[in-house]
Structure 1
């Protein structure tokens, strides 16, 4: 059954039951997008795009960038943007619901930007196929990196044996000295979070993008039972902190920071080692996701690397799309796009 192409009521909102294909993620739930909107990441307007086929609905939370231009509702904390689905689907119906979503979206947008799109579960290809079938001009190009860990049945010790020798030696030597004390938390702790914020402010990292959003996210994840946090102290003083979550067999590494003058004791490395042991041996995860970015240290802990993709789509029925489309496709001639 094909989607009928008619817009549903403007007050349609993403249902709490909508899910992405594949493993679950904290960035694929209605609560996450509501949190982003509540913290001002859709100030110019939010639109939960919808398409239907049979009993299944496809959803894609979007925000208005400027008149005629919409993008995925994300922020710098987001690991990915993926289409979500609600309802039982027969073979092929999800793809048709997604095509219907993009066909309807042509009635309200000249341009669409989606980033970061992960290379998993048929993406970015399924998005590009649905967009083209709906009549959009599409440019999809690699634009970032994702490092992740596939344990594939490995125990913690087998995984650790495969890490670089320099990393394993550092953990062994620094742990033996007993200078760093490690504390792990599975529920939000206000004092530990305040210590994280102090450490982050004193670290090498740029100013925190939105501390209030991050704290609200951490508190919400604690209520769901997915919250994991580590705090490292030297002589009672917090010097390193990390915030993770665990869900559907995956550990998501959201934030990590350490005080610069503590580097000789390697508190961040010891803290990572302790958190990896906990999520593997206690939580039983089979994957870990280090989010976006190609930082060299991520390769020491992870064994998989994928490119992230940016999708730019242009509505040929809108003259406002022609200029940006011409520029985008001219640049894409020098790249490997799909």
Structure 2
């Protein structure tokens, strides 16, 4: 039987605008449906990866063997409500939690209702940090953004509640702010070699492009066939990717692009467009067609579509600091991995000793290089 437990938080250290903070803990998605459907809906959350629909589907398709550990803090002020969520899951080892993310997730970490001031954010996160002491001796998260201080606030909140914390960049996110440009204006600023490649290859190899907004048996068969013949490893969860495509198509947010040579599909890309943000989820091309650059030709068409037709504000290239992304994008931002250790639990001590040893060895190596 699924069980959920709401924890009454210690209010002595967390206030937002003089309002006491209430903390909740649940170990199933069923227990948070009513609140999360409202607070983490598509309308409420511009970030796809902060939505209940994404988190629940990711868990059920990819992480079902790991029990959720869901924390929520709120001020329960009807006139000025504030809340934060932290979606974690049980690790394979007892008393360890990790972020409810995987390779499909662009971001992880805390989810706030709005862009709260620092006092409010810290009060909410400190409440979660206090609750977490009763549930884990180690918590690990990855892909935490810091665009609005998420990673910084999370680290500080846990430290202020007695946790030991480590934080370091784990990935680089490449993205593009359109700044009101047309595709032509954007394209003129791209590397000349890439622009020349698109022009030559599209003409010499008679590459045609199609961009679908829905999923059909035929186009999904083409997508899977391209992926199977590409350089990519086997898809981690084909069922989840199809669910994502169908779910986003139902909201008009899917952009499923294909490139064809001699009528045969040779490249595919899966994007989503919502709240003015285009997300590039999947890219693949048939390896034997690589010299014709069908993926590059298709990318140019996808960029043109979302810039000129969808009028997006931002295009996000997701995870992975691949060199080629700099040809398409103009900005980058780090994502962070953070580990939190509860030092009063003996279960934390082996990890802390191991980390201290690594630091000592690293310091000695650095000193030797200087000498």
Q: Normalized against structure 1, the TM-score is what?
A: 0.91
Shift of 1:104: 0.7
Shift of 1:151: 1.9
| Residue in structure 2 matched with residue 295 of structure 1 by the alignment | 322
| Residue in structure 2 matched with residue 17 of structure 1 by the alignment | 38
User: Counterparts of 2:65 and 2:82 in 1: how far apart (Å)?
Assistant: 29
Contact 1:3–1:97 under 8 Å retained in 2: no
Cα distance change, pair 262–90 in 1 and its aligned pair in 2 (3 A) = closer
User: Would you say 1:146 and 2:173 are equivalent positions?
Assistant: yes
User: Counterparts of 1:188 and 1:219 in 2: how far apart (Å)?
Assistant: 6
Gap regions ≥5 residues in structure 1 = none
| Residue in structure 1 matched with residue 265 of structure 2 by the alignment | 238
Contact 1:243–1:255 under 8 Å retained in 2: yes
Q: Which has the higher contact order (CA 8 A, sep 6+)?
A: 1
Q: Deviations over 1:194-220 (max 9, x none)?
A: 111111111111111110111111111
User: Would you say 1:98 and 2:120 are equivalent positions?
Assistant: no
The worse-fitting range, judged by mean Cα deviation, of 70-79 and 148-157 is: 148-157
Judging by fraction of residues, say which structure has more helix.
Answer: 2
User: Counterparts of 1:287 and 1:186 in 2: how far apart (Å)?
Assistant: 19
Q: Normalized against structure 2, the TM-score is what?
A: 0.84
- Report the 3-state secondary structure (helix = DSSP H, G, I; strand = E; otherwise coil) of the residue aligned with 1:39: helix
Q: 2:159 aligns with which of 132, 139, 144?
A: 132
Shift of 1:288: 0.9
Contact 1:139–1:329 under 8 Å retained in 2: no
Q: Deviations over 1:128-175 (max 9, x none)?
A: 111112221110011122111122233222211111111000011122
User: Counterparts of 1:44 and 1:252 in 2: how far apart (Å)?
Assistant: 27
- Report the 3-state secondary structure (helix = DSSP H, G, I; strand = E; otherwise coil) of the residue aligned with 1:292: coil
Larger radius of gyration: 2
Q: 1:170 aligns with which of 189, 197, 201?
A: 197
Cα distance change, pair 6–178 in 1 and its aligned pair in 2 (3 A) = closer
The number of aligned residues is 334
User: Counterparts of 2:214 and 2:333 in 1: how far apart (Å)?
Assistant: 31
Shift of 1:56: 2.0
Gap regions ≥5 residues in structure 2 = 1-17, 364-371
